[in-house]
Chain A
Amino acid sequence: MSNAVPQRNVIALNPEACTSCMLCVRECPTWCIDLTSHTVEVTEEGARRPRSVNVLDDFSIDYGLCMYCGICIEVCPFDALGWRDAFDYPAGERSELRQHTSQLSEWWPSGN
């Protein structure tokens, strides 16, 4: 199978770019994305007061529901999601189709 043409076989995540803004979660037509996060206070030199930032706890996509429309990729303001080549991720149990941050980020660099 040629890798010259980008394949839309799976959606991968770059957790470092994700700000937990939840846009992808809200726009997904099948409601297959789940995201948990918490906020931390960050103090910066010279700033008058600390600011709150989101820290991603878990990002998951239920690939049993995902219809590969790509709306999440299009809507992400930080380009934290992208199409990748990997297609062999079946499961024996329904729940195993939900892929979490670690697997989604493993697919990010090359998707193989």
Chain B
Amino acid sequence: MTNGMVHLVSADEWVQACRTLADQGTDVADWLTAIDTAGSLMVLVHLVCPGTGESALIGCHVDSESPQIASLTPYFAGVDWHERETSEMFGIEFIGRASTDPLLLRTAEDPPPLRKRSPLPARVETPWPGREESEKKRRRRKLPPGVREEWVSDE
């Protein structure tokens, strides 16, 4: 049962924790996704019991540099599309998936779109109308909204 709280497990426990919850009733995979907090990368799955409305949120931190986690597809058919999408959006490898058909038309060089480290070149290169131009204000240059420090600090 969840009240919005995430039941955190380790990568080794991931599949078993989900299977145990399925045995207890929440056996339908509602959605699976990932959250990139720039400090960490966490895979999340929401399991529900359609009959009773009970649900569970299970999360697992994965390695930020080469993220991988076991696939839930052998046990939850409904998670297939979600793993496919999460894999492309975050660059996470789901081990044990039957197919790796891409959803997006991206080349291998394009960084995963939803990782916070993946820059939006348009926002970095376009001059921001909101930049401070007054000479009197000696504040540190403010970054425009939507532009992360790490995208510009290399310059």
Contact = CB atoms under 8 A, between A and B. Distances in A.
Name the interface size band of chain B.
under 10
A33 B129 contact: yes
Q: Does more than half of chain B's interface fall in helix, strand or loop, or is it mixed? A: loop
Interface of B: 126, 128-130, 134, 144-146
A33 B144 CA distance: 13
A35 interface: yes
Contacts of A39: 134
20 contacts: A22-B130, A25-B129, A25-B130, A26-B130, A26-B144, A26-B145, A27-B145, A28-B129, A28-B130, A29-B145, A29-B146, A31-B126, A31-B128, A31-B129, A31-B130, A31-B144, A33-B129, A34-B129, A35-B129, A39-B134
A29 B144 CA distance: 10
Contacts of B145: 26-27, 29
Interface residues of A, number: 11
Contacts of A29: 145-146
B120 to A, nearest CB: 12
Interface of A: 22, 25-29, 31, 33-35, 39
Nearest to B133: A36
A50 B48 CA distance: 67
A34 B128 CA distance: 9
A61 B145 CA distance: 18
Contacts of A34: 129
Contacts of A33: 129
A39 B135 CA distance: 12
Nearest to B123: A31
A39 B129 CA distance: 18
Nearest to B132: A22
